[in-house]
Structure 1
Amino acid sequence: MTTPVDELAVEVLDLPAKDRAKILELLINSFEPKSQAQQAWTALALRRRDEVRDGKVAMLPGREALQRVRARIA
């Protein structure tokens, strides 16, 4: 016999990844409220993730990014 939680899990797992990620974020936040700083960092990270997914920005390999940073501060 399946429980309501099992039924909900099946429905959630059928959702697109973007919707599952939103539900996951809501669940995580329900356990421990975040400080304003944590909320700001999370919002920034999610915005940057979306920019990459939407093709608005391109990612660099780590080594290349470090080389660019080192060149700027040298």
Structure 2
Amino acid sequence: MNLAQLESEIFSLSIQDRALLAKRLLLSLEEISESEFDRLWADVSAHRAAEFDAGRVQAIPGEEVAKKVRALIR
């Protein structure tokens, strides 16, 4: 299974399952060094920026994201 297939599977999960998976993935990063963590986030950031620049994804205003997060945690 490649990353695109895995992402497709993940995004088909419920919001609750995706949140649980995200939490578990983030906790798994605690096992790496801070420099490795920074490098990984830089890679993710560069990938996301390239997707945005290529028009494959759209930005969501921070206020809208915060509103959705508040609704989810209530």
- Give the TM-score normalised by structure 1: 0.50
**Relative to total residues, which structure has the larger helix share, 1 or 2?**
2
